[in-house]
Structure 1
Amino acid sequence: MNTIIKHIKIVACITVLCSSCNTIDYDDTNDNPNGPTDAVTSQLLTNALSSIPDIVVDETPILYMQHITEGQYPGSSRYSGLTYSYDSWYTGPLQDLNEIIAINSNPEIAEDYAIYGANANQIATAKTIRAYFLQYMTDRWGALPWSEAFMGIENPQPKFDTQESLYDFMFAEIEDVLSLIDHSASGPSGDILFDGDMDRWEAFANNLKMTMALRISHVNPSLAKTKFEEAVASGLLVTSNDDNIEYHYGTDDASDSPWMDNFRTREDYILSRTMVESLRENLDPRLFEYAAPARDSVSTVTNFPDAIDAGYVGAPNGNVNGNVPSYSFINNEIIYTPDYPSPIYTAAQIKFAMAEAAVNGWDVGGGDAATLYEEAVTASMEYWGVATEDITEYIAAHPYGGIEDIAYEKWVALYLNGPEAWAEWRRLDAPALVPSSYANDPRIPVRHAYDASIADNNAANYADMISFQGPDNLHTRLWWDIH
């Protein structure tokens, strides 16, 4: 009897289980009940824009450019990084922007997404910032997978597009952006940069266009001239500090400045001796705005009246500078203010570009190289809070004398804007920076090499890239770097 009862129980359990399986729907097992089921383009845009600090506070090129150096753990200031991966850009912000463009370009669903801003303006915004990211990437690595990228398993081994073709693509994108922007319609939601202000996005696009044009001025001067003059004619270039394009941070840990994060628990970065002594030698009042006095030492050399510069001490580039309080830190306001903004395009940067364009004989809308040079220096010093009389005195002592002066002053004005300072230094081959004597290979890098996995996983296209670009190392010059 016990055996019969056992068998009955087993059959009953099996019946219940089978019945349950027939009624349960497992289709949404992996769905997050608290997350969106469809793409939300406003969130995609916010996420993409939050990658801008990775560019404007990219410490590696800042160290290359000897604005700052490292304390007791020198790495990038010794050029120790040999390969760098671009994967996170493709799988992160670029993919977000591609999705925004694809959704708003799809006539079957675009209307549904207009709640996040006019479709054309969403596309224009995404294309603008995508071009900005792409310029940063190609000016860092050179050739990149692009025309065959983002295809997933359909093409896991994309070819590398030349840097020249990437610049052609970016120029075409910006022209498309400028034709798409609709000032009468709503801007994109999720825009943490300009809060949907399409006038500002049009200005961003034109300043990016001008920057790209100048970058290729040595290798394709005719195209550079055309694009530069178009940007000038737009009337939207940043020529006043009131119009500077900056990235503004929040005050919470999730959105505060990377500089504050860098100094929250450690003190790894100190002023480079190159920068400090350049400013001291030229009696440049920006010394007192860029840096804080050293806590534990004074300089053996002083140039300013009453030795007011004695407390400003730079460290040797790439040395193990273990006693960091003996050196000057970055201005306290920058590293200890959570929402201190980072510049993207400034009046000084644009005025120096216009001064160089005037040297080239391009139409800059008025003003010669000397005048624009003075306006650029003035804009830089005013941005940093230098007194008017000190600006006048400095310019009188350092009048415009040629492209070398533009290159030097641009290097100073781009303080802490590492990618842009690095690119312009490579393009102009000035000012003369002495590589760190502590580096195994005492040459300042002129590009970054690809992650080692590329050669293994995309061998044929990697070999083809080397055939037209050159060896994959830190010292192969990029397409536009020919001067």
Structure 2
Amino acid sequence: MNNKIKNIILVLGISFIYSSCETVDFGDVNNNPNGPTAAVTSQLLTQAQKRVGGFDDNDGNSINGIATNMQGILFTQQLTEGQYPGDSRYSTLTRSYNDFFTGAIQNLNRIIELNEDAATIATAAQFGDNANQIATAKILRGYILHYMTDKWGGLPYTEGFQGIDNPQPAFDTQEEIYNIIFADLESAMSAIDPSKTGPHGDVMFSGDMNKWWLFANSLKMTMALRISDVSPALAKSKFEEVIASGVYISTNAQNLEYTYGTTDVDDSVWHDRWKEREDYVLSVTMMETLRSNLDPRLFKYAEPATAGTATNPMFPGNTDAKYVGAPNGTVNGNVPDYSFPTATIIYDVDYPTPLYTAAQMKFAMAEAAVKGWNVGGTAATVLYEEGIAASMDYWGVDAADKTAYIAAHPWTSMNDIAYQKWIALYLNGWEAWAEWRRFDYPVLVPSTNAGDPRIPVRDSYDSSVQDNNPTNYTAIITAQGADDNHTKLWWDVN
């Protein structure tokens, strides 16, 4: 009898709880009064842009940005690692592109949707002119896609972003992706109106639509040269369109840079990398190349070693004696023996990262002139010298040293342009890696400590691609070649 009474009481209690839950109105107790109730385009843009300059993940880890890509810096032997060699030994065989698609690219797609949809266009306009927001999103999306395709090759783009409606999208080839980006850039530039408000949340260019136009044309010039060996007619056409527009970087005052903030959430990733660790030092390749050519940028790119001394100083008065590079891919545990990158980069929390510079564009135009393209009438030799001068001016080299160096290193062949571009792209890892793959110069000796002593020329797809999308994975591999680090991309035909 007691058990029956207990069970009756229990049932009545549960019934009371359920009926109470049905009748009590909790109001907005679970709503954040300070949070947005719909997607805000300014926030979407800021988050997408963080993938360009890199960011801190709030756990003390510095996340590579496109412009600060450490993988490319190590592959092209500008820097090498200290006591924990990894990428300098080419040890990471596969990488995932998922974060780009589900993060930055999806954010930019959403910005475009919100500014085109009649139901949201008025709300989106609170964060900048609709057309300018769309143009910015297309340009930045093109920049990120360019980075991605030059790492992996083909990507599941056109059929992507459909969720469960198409969980196994087909891949676009790299050639198709280049054409998509070209079309998006031209659509964006035709819609830009500098007289109207630029996008809010723009941490790259503060809503300056003239800079976005310049950024788009810089990307277009870069892409044109990238495909110049495999699609020369298209490359020439796209490059000359930029020259005809007159909108391209010609002085350091026009350099496009990613500017950081001064707090832990938005400061420079270079500063973050040296807060508590000393993982990177100058590569012996970069150091000895600068030394052997008596290049005054040696003293701008690096700091003197605390303990080490060079075995072969070559500058007058042995002023370079304390500038020491470390072997590539070895365990360089005693980092005081070697030179760190310049202290400005390490200690200035908001030191900007270059995206496109006058030096880079001058060398691009010099190469185009050699190919016989229209570059506005300036000779290749002049553009080559202007490229060196722009690089040295950017790094604060003394005028007399600059003049002497240029006189001692005249242009003789395309290899001179390739070499000077490699030097000028110091710490711009992804561009340096792409241009080195295209030129196959300078000759870099792979690390002898690598399991496979060949410098990678692409990233392999993450294993999840083959597991989750086997049919389309097989199709893209059949089209572009084996899925390893040594299959050349579409444009890499030399």
TM-score bucket (shorter structure)? over 0.9
Q: Select which of 357, 360, 364 maps to 2:368.
A: 357
State the Cα deviation string for residues 448-478 of structure 1 (Å, max 9, x = none): 0011111111111111111101000000000
Instruction: Name the CA distance, whole Å, in 2 between partners of 1:10 and 1:482.
Output: 78
Amino acid at match of 2:45: L
Amino acid at match of 1:145: P
- 1:344 match: secondary structure: strand
State the Cα deviation string for residues 272-303 of structure 1 (Å, max 9, x = none): 00000000000000000000011101111011
Instruction: Name the CA distance, whole Å, in 2 between partners of 1:7 and 1:61.
Output: 70
In the other structure, the counterpart of 2:41 is 41
Structure-2 change in CA distance of 1:214 and 1:25 (3 Å): farther
- 1:145 match: secondary structure: coil
Structure-2 change in CA distance of 1:65 and 1:18 (3 Å): closer
- 1:39 match: secondary structure: coil
Q: CA deviation at 1:159?
A: 1.1
In the other structure, the counterpart of 1:217 is 228
How many residue pairs were aligned? 483
8 Å CA contact 1:299–1:310 kept in 2: the answer is yes
Q: Percent identity?
A: 59
In the other structure, the counterpart of 2:59 is none
RMSD: 2.0
The gaps in structure 1 that reach 5 residues or longer are none
Instruction: Name the CA distance, whole Å, in 1 between partners of 2:246 and 2:24.
Output: 64
- 1:144 match: secondary structure: coil
Amino acid at match of 1:275: M
- Per the normalisation by structure 2, the TM-score is 0.94
1:463 equivalenced with 2:459 (yes/no): no
1:277 equivalenced with 2:327 (yes/no): no
Q: Select which of 243, 249, 265 maps to 2:254.
A: 243
Q: CA deviation at 1:47?
A: 0.8
Q: Select which of 203, 211, 220 maps to 1:200.
A: 211
Q: CA deviation at 1:7?
A: 9.9
Name the stretch that deviates more: 81-90 or 21-30. 21-30
8 Å CA contact 1:206–1:234 kept in 2: the answer is no
Instruction: Name the CA distance, whole Å, in 1 between partners of 2:196 and 2:357.
Output: 28
In the other structure, the counterpart of 1:149 is 160
In the other structure, the counterpart of 1:166 is 177
Runs of 4+ aligned structure 1 residues displaced above 6 Å come to 2-12, 26-30
In the other structure, the counterpart of 2:62 is none
Instruction: Name the CA distance, whole Å, in 2 between partners of 1:213 and 1:24.
Output: 64
Amino acid at match of 2:473: Y
Instruction: Name the CA distance, whole Å, in 2 between partners of 1:308 and 1:4.
Output: 96
Map of 1:253-402 to 2, 5 A cutoff? 253-402=264-413
1:22 equivalenced with 2:22 (yes/no): yes
Name the stretch that deviates more: 3-12 or 444-453. 3-12
Q: CA deviation at 1:96?
A: 0.6
Q: CA deviation at 1:173?
A: 0.2
Instruction: Name the CA distance, whole Å, in 1 between partners of 2:27 and 2:147.
Output: 42
Q: CA deviation at 1:129?
A: 0.3
Structure-2 change in CA distance of 1:14 and 1:145 (3 Å): closer
Amino acid at match of 1:43: Q
Instruction: Name the CA distance, whole Å, in 2 between partners of 1:241 and 1:403.
Output: 24
In the other structure, the counterpart of 2:79 is 68
Q: CA deviation at 1:21?
A: 3.2
State the Cα deviation string for residues 33-53 of structure 1 (Å, max 9, x = none): 442111101111111111112
Instruction: Name the CA distance, whole Å, in 2 between partners of 1:61 and 1:360.
Output: 27
8 Å CA contact 1:85–1:450 kept in 2: the answer is yes
- 2:396 match: secondary structure: coil
In the other structure, the counterpart of 1:429 is 440
1:226 equivalenced with 2:266 (yes/no): no
Amino acid at match of 2:314: N
The gaps in structure 2 that reach 5 residues or longer are 54-64
Q: CA deviation at 1:440?
A: 1.3
Instruction: Name the CA distance, whole Å, in 1 between partners of 2:362 and 2:35.
Output: 46
Amino acid at match of 1:283: L
- 1:51 match: secondary structure: helix
